[in-house]
Amino acid sequence: MAEAFEWVADRRRLDDLVDELAEAPVYGLDTEFHRERTYHPHLALLQLAGPSGISLVDPLAVDPAPLARVLDGPGVAVLHAADQDLEVLQRACGTVPSRLFDTQLAAGFLGMSTLSLVALVERVLGRRLVKGDRLTDWTQRPLTVEQQRYAAADVEHLIDLRDRLTADLAARDRLGWAEDECELLRTRARWATPAETAWWRVKEARSLRGPARGVAQEVAAWRERRASAVDRPARFILPDLALAAIAQRPPRRVEDVAAVRGMDGRYLKGAAGQELLEAVARGRDLPESELRLPPTDDVERRVRPAVTLVAAWIGQLASDLDLDPVLLATRADLHAFLRKDPDARLATGWRKQLIGDAVARLVEGRAALAFDGRELVLEDRA
């Protein structure tokens, strides 16, 4: 690609860029960030495509916070696989785009399952993207021309891609589906998970019983808050192996903590050892009413036979409609719907119209699945 991009590293040029993009009807956006050795993602580069071309904003030289005016503006932000980018933008700019079009998500409604940006651009637009080293350290300065070119390529085709996908989706009456799904992605508060649920991510969590669950909850919550405060990965504060061992055999003294499997001296420096013991004590005395149990995929015994049948029918339907099956419904979605979870994805919007009502009829005995020699057919029962 030609060098059709600029490097933005001072406040005056950033302000000009914000003025320009704040009124743009659509703009492309991507971020480069690192979080391998930190708790929070650290923005290293922000790429923007607008009416006058591509800009690479250096957040190591200029505070990107003024870009909040662009994100809060009326324009549609076009991103590819935006989930992690939204977390980065929330932290760096204090907000996320007011309107979002995720090209990877939208492509799923056209039967293209989780394609990379390179593959999607080539398939939809017939263009080849610059490929670079995915292990680039984006915090190094100066970035080479090749690195800058690679970063710029990540937003170069986003607006054209959105235009083509939007047209194809509209032609198949699926644009509303894609827009609804992009809005769900945009508004999901992925960065506000309560610390009290952090213990759910520990491998052995679901096998814990009795007071061990309270200890696991409080110790994992302490680990999460400390990791956030010192900006280090949670595993650097306390390994999962040690956390599980502490939950099963709660220590009462710092000396006992030091003997826990998976522990060494670095985890007990400063006030950490005493704070850990205090979390253990809170966990031992935690009232049952304050225990945050992990969600379960269990459904009523009477409807369990329906799960396998319905899953097969949904898989067939996804194929018939040329939809990414994961977009249509996962097994977890089906379980949540059958448990009557108020947040179940099959209970609202286009999924409810397409399959939710049919699944409800099936489970209630008002419909049945039959095999007509070629495929499963949902039939009303008399």
> Among 33, 77, 23, which Cα is nearest to 57's?
33
Residues of the chain with CATH 3.30.420.10: 5-187
Indicate yes or no: pTM above 0.85: yes
Beta carbons within 8 Å of 142's beta carbon, 6+ residues apart: none
Beta bridge partners of 179: none
Structure confidence at residue 133 (pLDDT): 66
In CATH terms, is domain 195-290 a member of 2.60.120.260?
Answer: no
Q: Exposure string (b/e) for 239-259, b if CB count within 10 Å is 16 or more? A: bbbbbbbbbeebbeeeeebee
The alpha carbon dihedral of 100, 105, 108, 112 has a sign of: positive
Structure confidence at residue 168 (pLDDT): 98
Domain 301-380 top-level CATH class? mainly alpha
- Contact present, 317 and 355 (Cβ < 8 Å): yes
Structure confidence at residue 2 (pLDDT): 43
CA pair distance 330, 328, nearest whole angstrom: 7
Average pLDDT, 10 consecutive residues per value, the chain (382 residues): 81 98 97 94 97 97 98 98 96 97 97 92 93 82 95 97 98 96 87 88 91 97 96 93 94 87 76 92 96 79 79 90 90 88 91 92 88 88 77
CA pair distance 117, 125, nearest whole angstrom: 11
Beta bridge partners of 49: 28, 54
Structure confidence at residue 374 (pLDDT): 87
- Contact present, 21 and 39 (Cβ < 8 Å): no
Structure confidence at residue 273 (pLDDT): 87
**Could you tell me the fold of the domain covering 5-187?**
Nucleotidyltransferase; domain 5 (3.30.420)
User: What pLDDT, in 10s, does the model give residues 270-311?
Assistant: 788 899 999 999 999 999 999 999 877 666 777 777 788 888
Residues of the chain with CATH 1.10.150.80: 195-290
